[in-house]
Amino acid sequence: MENIQRLMSKLNKDQIEPVLDTEGAVLVIAGAGSGKTSVLTTRIAHLIVDKCVSPENILAITFTNKAANEMKERLMKIVGNVAGMWVCTIHSMCVKILRSAISLIGYDKNFTIYDETDKEKALKRVFEDLAIKDDKLLKTAKNIISNAKNDCLSPEEWKKENLEFNLCEQIFAVYSAYENYLKSNNALDFDDLLCKTYELFVRCPEIADYYADKFKYIHIDEFQDTNKVQYLIAQRLSLKHGNIFVVGDEDQSIYSWRGAKVENILNFDDVYRGAKIYKLERNYRSTKKILELANVIIDNNKMRRGKKLWTDNDEGVRVETFVGNDENNEAQYVAIQIKNLMQRSDMKYSDFAVFMRINALSRAFEQEFTKYGIPYKIYGGFRFFERKEVKDLLSYVKVVINPKDDESFIRAVSTPKRGIGDKTIAELREFAVGRKCGMYECLDDIDEAGFSSAVVRKLTIFKLMLDEFKETAQRENSVFLLKKIIETTSFNDMFAEKTEENRSRLMNINELLNVAELFHKDNEGANVSDFVNSVTLSSDTDEITDGDFVTVATIHAVKGLEFPCVFVSGLDESILPVASREADEIEEERRLMYVAVTRAKQRLYLTRAISRYLYGQRSFMTPSRFLKEGQSVLGGKTPTFGDNNGVRGEKKSYSVDIDDNSTTSSHGYSSNYAKSMLNRSMPKVNENRANSGEYAIGIKVAHKKFGIGTVVGIKGSGDNLIADVAFKGIGIKSLSVKYAPMEIVK
């Protein structure tokens, strides 16, 4: 175990003060990279070691499962055994509470948790039952219901507050039917995990009192991202002892679309009278130049307490900006920068990250990184556990845990195909509704459903199979159960044809088995239900794993992470910031920009494009206002192609001075292009590669990814030489001769 005094000695004065302030309400405004995790873990260690508080009386709520696991590991190194202490996300905490007491409000403890895909399917089922055919209304209803639950409003309460809304009656009908459907399936959606916990506290105050007494010291990280119901739960839990310690940064509040309210942190001391407030402004992550840009941008926001990040780190290299001719040129610039930096330093692919406001921008980076042989992973889009084959396989597990879960039953009975069609499934569901039970449960009386003998036989065989899986789930762990399901159903035979897509699906199935194995290894004594909980409660950030690849992600997906070199792409109006006229929405977009900038440790690049192909058409783009706000740091006007915001003008090409962290661009501008006139030499990349002068129209080349191709066009010269290469079955690719993984075929 690490000595607590030695641990304290690693903190600065501003960090030590909140660590020692253990009684009452405490708010720590923790700037990006200011060591808030060290403050949280040291404070908890101080409570256990110096104040002799039992770990069972401590609650620590984190924003992600990954953060929770890291905190547990740190605490175990410091104080040893922390058994009994709750270190988890608020959703995981609520699941624990509900599993033990949800029967008091009319649910079974083996409830299924519906993710966003399941939720949408359930809503579609409700729309069918109500004979509503309006896809736009479905999306509207989904958002309204989520917001209502985050504000703790039942269908009746929501209706009462929205009588003047023209869709009030329809939304009320959908919301009511959706709640009934979830109840009949013994299922909760993500929002329910919170609002049902609060409902439990209100309807059964003895349960709330039990946990309020148990948790004598409450810690909440990322407090700026709490919504109303989370705030109310925290408030109720702290009612008895009053020791609530919250850490956050209003400048990093970026989840209003999930119901997060920045006012929770801004008004904390108004609600908790006498609360002590501390600020952590020293940054341990970034260079001075990066922080200078972050400070000057966020200073334009009004809804903030005010702080200024500072650091003893090096001055660092300047922040670079680049304007590409289009999205492919922008992505090509990033690819070449990565290649260049790796050639002249000891950086790895994992040191680089590309951030974007919307996932739609990732296509160009996928294309260019493939061309240049750069390994990458994309986050913030389609999550692993939302992939069809993964959900199909898990549906068997979910339905044997919760026999009332019709959505999982329908998915399981349909995959693999077993001659049970949509008509049969619809009739079976109707039969189950009439019997007021789940579709799996009603198979006991299938002879009374009026089906043909052939259908009865198929459904009976399916039921016997589920019964066998149910028995297995009670005896074995998830790995054994999943393997049994795969073998019994011949699940993998669906992907027998040797295609790239099937190969990927089989890899995903294998990865699910690996995930299950790792879960049970790390959670001794956990059962199948615990594994399903962990899967359902996983987040985007949890999927960001170690490995030597470039991270390509939405800004929302990488909050809390850091990288030596960051590229913030798509800095155009209507992208970052997204189109908006509301001041509070612009402030959140600015906070997104601030979060992106403060992920960078040593190098930061800001990129945009003159035109983009988005949403089915090509459009000219206008530079983001955030570039203008950062002009005093970035150094004058961001270069564009001519006047009028770069809408028209002559394309030019410049070599860029490598001593100031830039590289060559074939069709764009970099912010330090003027220095390139010094014509400093570029480092040699590959002594064995053919001289660029040997490239000519008609020659054959071999590319690591695309195979053999023919050069059909040449532009530029020297380090700027770009070859247009035609690859059979792929098309023409524009490749930098210097950096693309290709060789001339002799």
Q: Of the residues 112, 252, 311, 337, which is catalytic?
A: 252
* CB 432, CB 446: distance < 8 Å: no
Out of 22, 37, 117, 622, the active site residue is: 37
Active site residue 222: yes
**Nearest alpha-carbon partner for 425 in 130, 110, 128:** 128
189, 191, 192, 221: which is the annotated catalytic residue? 221
Backbone phi, psi, residue 448, to 5°: -95, 0
Strands 376-379 and 276-280: unpaired
Instruction: Give backbone dihedrals phi and psi of 708, rounded to 5 degrees, phi first.
Output: -85, 135
Give the other-Cβ count within 10 Å of 194's Cβ. Answer: 25
Which amino acid does the sequence have at 651? Answer: K
Ramachandran angles phi, psi of 567, nearest 5°:
-110, 120
Q: Read off the amino acid at residue 456.
A: V
197 included as an active-site residue: no
> Length of the chain in residues, anyone?
746
- Four-residue CA torsion sign, 430, 432, 433, 438: negative
Query: What's the CA gap between 516 and 386, in Å, rounded?
Result: 16
Retrieve residue 481's tokens. Answer: 């159960």
Out of 118, 191, 222, 719, pick the active-site residue: 222
CA atoms within 13 A on the CB side of 187: 30
**Residue 679 tokens, joined:** 């014509």
Q: Which of 15, 36, 307, 612 is flagged as catalytic? A: 36
Specify whether 161 is catalytic: no
Which residues have CB under 8 Å from 505's CB, separation 6+? 387, 389, 495
DSSP assigned state of 719: G
Copy the structure tokens of residue 743.
């060789």
Tell me if residue 745 falls in helix, strand or coil. Answer: coil
- Read off the DSSP letter of residue 421: -
Q: Each residue of 367-383: b (16+ CB within 10 Å) or e?
A: ebbbbbebebebbbeeb
3-state secondary structure of 38: helix
551 is known as an active-site residue? no
- Listed in sequence order, the residues at least 6 apart from 641 whose beta carbon sits closer than 8 Å to its beta carbon are 323, 325, 610, 648, 649, 650, 651, 652, 669
Strand ranges in 623-741 using DSSP code E only, listed in sequence order = 668-670, 700-703, 707-715, 722-727, 731-736
Instruction: Report whether 444 contacts 437 (CB < 8 A).
Output: no
Annotated catalytic residue 599 = yes
Residue 676: how many other CB atoms lie within 10 Å: 18
Give the span between the Cα atoms of 235 and 233, in whole angstroms.
Answer: 5
Q: Please list the helix, strand and coil fractions of the chain in percent, rounded to the nearest 5, in that order.
A: 50, 15, 35
**Dist. CA 611–CA 531, nearest whole Å:** 46
Which positions ≥6 away from 366 have C-beta within 8 Å?
A: 376, 378, 552
Residue with tokens 């660029």: 692
Q: Per the structure block, which two tokens stand in for 637?
A: 């006007």
Q: Taking the CA of residue 583 as centre, how many other CA atoms within 13 Å lie in the half-sphere pointing to its CB?
A: 4
Active-site residue among 458, 599, 608, 625?
Answer: 599
Give the HSE-up count for residue 376: Cα atoms under 13 Å, Cβ half-sphere: 26
Tell me, yes or no, if 273 is annotated catalytic. no
One-letter amino acid of 335: A
**DSSP strand pairing (352-356 vs 550-554):** parallel
Active site residues: 36-37, 221-222, 252, 599
